Structures are given as C-alpha cells and as structure tokens.
C-alpha cells in the first residue's frame, strides 16, 4: 500500500491545448500548488527539476511527443559580457533600477498594457485586467521581487525623488536558494533601440552575482522558436537534459 505524507505536494496534468511556440503542436503541463511555509523550499526543489512559477503554481511541460522546451540557467560566476552586450549596457547608462518586494502599481500596469498591446496582442495575456496584473505580481508565497528600471532624474541622488524618472522596464523575479529566476518582464515597446529585454537579463546576472548565488534561471528555451533564441546568447549556461543539468556547448 502506498502511503502519502499529508504535506506531500499533489501534481496535476492539464488537458492538451495549442502550443504557443511551435505551430501545429499541442502542449500539456504538470503542475502543483505552492502554498504555506513550505512553498519556498518546494520551489527550490522543483526548479532543480525544470519547473517554473506562475503565481502560486509551479509547472513544467509534460507534452506527450515533444521535448522542445529545455530549461536554461546562466552560470553567473563565469559570465563575461561580449562586445554586443557591452553596447547594450552603454546605451542604458542613463537608467537606474530599484529592487523591492513585489507590489503592483497603476504605472506598472500602464507600461504592461503598452507592451502587451504592441508585442503580444494575440497572446494569452492580452485580456489581463489591472486586477489580473496585480494578482500576477503579488500572489506569491515565495521571495518575489519587482525591479523597476527608470530614466535617471538629473541631480537626484536617491530617495523618492530618484523614483520619479520615467518607467521604461519592469522585471518580476524570484530569489531562491541557488539563484534568481526571472518570472516575467516587460518594457517600453517604443524603445527598441535600447534592447531592454537583453539589458534586464544582464542586470539580473549582476544582481544574482551580488547576492552570492550561482545561477540565473531564464525559463525555457524552445528549439525551433525564433522568439526564444535570445536565451542561448547568454553563456556559459546549463540545460536540463535527461541526465540532469549539462553545460551547453552550442
């Protein structure tokens, strides 16, 4: 007879639905709930197995005949910015960032709506209301941070005055035992010349390094999906394969 510990997580499987990354394929996910005092430790454990967090759910792909989604994490201690990355950092020298406990604001939502309406109007987030956004940010049982990237206010040395600069990008990230995990990020769609998506990853590599943690988790790289190819530019990195985490050589 199998005995289940009363605090052991229960896992569930979703029904098949169209894959958002590879046309003509169906996706399924296995998921569990992250609740209570054990949520941070459970997320740490599940992240080692390729799970991601969305609000109080931890999930990972469980497709029947497809293994295209591969978990990616950057080895931050070994990362060195190449010439292209240094140009991105240079273009954004006029930005300042603020990391705090995850709390939603109307200013963030306005930027989120601009980003979604411009970049992902037909995606699953296109109908998110301000309340939906608030839940995405604050419905977490783990150590979740929000990082705002603002245009520097001339003459402002810090404090509330420094936070009055134009909001250009936002990242929602978890701090775990072995690294940071970028849950979701968005940015001003009219500032494409800044490469803000790349800039936020570079900034998070530095944040993870300053916290003394070894990994920055980027979620899934989907081979064959052009919109996911940016993730393999940040090397060295490891991919979660059948034998465990292995260094990606390209």
Residue with tokens 């209570």: 36
Residue 167 — φ and ψ, nearest 5°?
A: -80, 120
For 169-198, what is the mean pLDDT? 97
Closest by CA to 31, choosing from 56, 48, 6, is 56
What is the fold of 82-219? Aminopeptidase (3.40.630)
> Is pLDDT at 5 greater than 50 in this prediction?
no
Are the C-beta atoms of residues 112 and 127 closer than 8 Å to each other? no
Give dist(CA 167, CA 152) in Å, integer: 10
Q: What pLDDT is stored for residue 2 in this prediction? A: 45
> Is pLDDT at 44 greater than 80 in this prediction?
yes
Give dist(CA 239, CA 109) in Å, integer: 33
Closest by CA to 45, choosing from 2, 8, 14, is 8
Are the C-beta atoms of residues 162 and 96 closer than 8 Å to each other? yes
> Is pLDDT at 202 greater than 90 in this prediction?
yes
Question: In which band, very low, low, confident or very high, does the pLDDT at 123 lie, cut at 50, 70 and 90?
Answer: low
pTM: 0.93
For 127-153, what is the mean pLDDT? 96
Q: How far from the centroid of its chain's Cα atoms is residue 78's Cα? A: 20
> Is pLDDT at 66 greater than 60 in this prediction?
yes
Give dist(CA 219, CA 217) in Å, integer: 6
Question: In which band, very low, low, confident or very high, does the pLDDT at 138 lie, cut at 50, 70 and 90?
Answer: very high
Q: What pLDDT is stored for residue 65 in this prediction? A: 87
Question: In which band, very low, low, confident or very high, does the pLDDT at 158 lie, cut at 50, 70 and 90?
Answer: low
Give dist(CA 78, CA 159) in Å, integer: 33
Question: In which band, very low, low, confident or very high, does the pLDDT at 4 lie, cut at 50, 70 and 90?
Answer: very low
Residue 217, number of CB atoms within 10 A of its CB: 23
For 154-177, what is the mean pLDDT? 86
Give dist(CA 215, CA 48) in Å, integer: 11
Question: In which band, very low, low, confident or very high, does the pLDDT at 127 lie, cut at 50, 70 and 90?
Answer: confident
Give dist(CA 130, CA 109) in Å, integer: 6
Residue 246, number of CB atoms within 10 A of its CB: 11
């Amino acid at each position: 007879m199998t005995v289940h510990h009363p605090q052991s997580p229960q896992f569930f499987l979703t029904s098949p639905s169209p894959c958002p990354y590879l046309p003509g394929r169906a996706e399924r996910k296995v998921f569990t709930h992250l609740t209570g005092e054990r949520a941070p430790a459970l997320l740490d454990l599940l992240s080692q197995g390729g799970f991601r967090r969305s609000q109080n759910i931890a999930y990972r792909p469980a497709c029947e005949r497809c293994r295209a989604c591969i978990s990616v994490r950057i080895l931050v201690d070994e990362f060195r910015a190449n010439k292209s990355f240094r140009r991105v950092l240079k273009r954004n020298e006029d930005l300042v960032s603020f990391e705090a406990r995850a709390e939603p604001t109307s200013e963030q939502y306005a930027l989120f709506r601009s980003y979604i309406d411009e970049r992902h109007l037909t995606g699953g987030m296109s109908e998110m209301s301000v309340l939906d956004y608030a839940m995405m940010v604050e419905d977490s049982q783990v150590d979740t941070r929000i990082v705002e990237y603002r245009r520097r206010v001339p003459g402002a040395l810090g404090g509330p005055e420094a936070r009055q600069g134009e909001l250009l990008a936002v990242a929602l990230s978890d701090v775990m035992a072995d690294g940071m995990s970028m849950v979701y990020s968005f940015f001003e769609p009219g500032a494409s010349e800044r490469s803000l998506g790349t800039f936020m990853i570079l900034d998070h590599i530095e944040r993870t390094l300053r916290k003394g943690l070894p990994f920055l988790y980027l979620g899934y790289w989907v081979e064959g999906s052009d919109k996911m190819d940016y993730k393999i530019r940040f090397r060295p990195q490891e991919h979660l394969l059948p034998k465990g985490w292995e260094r990606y050589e390209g």
